[in-house]
Copies of this chain bind each other. A is one copy, B any other.
């Protein structure tokens, strides 16, 4: 059997699972952003024809998975397993999507690291020989997240400049044991990092040390450097958190020149989102619409996709707890036909 675990926290997928299809659905604000013309579907309003934002979020997740399957001429019943999660209490977007798909389902919670966590678990299942085709989704919705974690958007609370804007969007990925597409070669499972930040309006600062830990561990585990990647992209540290990460990397003798962040890429500065985008949907839609397309076109050859999650709840914040953060990473590579 080929070696599966490399170093402390990294798994090697020697059989090379392949991301064969992907799709993204976003809200109107995201459609007006710099990646606007790259999403598969841009909603004209944040309700998507539903009565509640929660139902709209679930619809986005479902539609993105259906679209990803359609591109491969597959149906939900062709999936061996479905892995999904979201920010909502009890991950209801994922649960109701799994109800629609009617496939075996494992619910995940990793906050904004959920998509990366799902890709890690998909890789484990495919490399282990447990499945042929796995669907992975993550979603978030600005209005469902705001009213759950902070205040109802109708209140119009002034947001501090450190706050990020939760992305309204969902993306889904089809990962197969055999196929043509983007290769999933490694996964690094993160540990909790908590340096004591308790400001729920500054999650980027809270999450930066977790991103550092996972990137550093990943490079050490594989004996690689930042030069082995065309891009090391974090989930959603935003402007503030990403700058902190760059400083932390330099302090650890890792050059920050390959670093970018999905929370920075998803909106333009003129959209006035303050510290950038966030939410499980943020890194998911940027990966599906932009990053993985660059790999497909050969513009990048190998990227490290680092999902970052702030694992707080409203009640843990109310009770004065600091914010436990995590980052999971996967390596995606361009060359990719596995037969």
Contact = CB atoms under 8 A, between A and B. Distances in A.
Interface of A: 1, 4-5, 9, 11, 51-52, 54-55, 80-81, 85, 87-92, 95-96, 98-99, 102-111, 117, 120-121, 124-125, 127-131, 148, 189-192, 194, 311-316, 319, 321, 324, 326
B91 A109 contact: yes
What 3 pairs between A and B have smallest CB-CB spacing?
A128-B128, A90-B313, A95-B311
Interface-central residue, A91, A96, A125, A192, by most chain B CB under 10 Å: A192
B189 A92 contact: no
A120 to B, nearest CB: 8
Given A5-B131, A128-B128, A108 B108 contact: yes
Given A89-B90, A105-B326, A106-B108, 18 more contacts: A1-B1, A1-B129, A4-B130, A5-B129, A54-B316, A85-B109, A90-B312, A92-B313, A92-B316, A95-B316, A98-B191, A99-B194, A105-B189, A106-B110, A121-B121, A128-B128, A128-B129, A148-B315
B104 A107 contact: no
B192 A315 contact: no
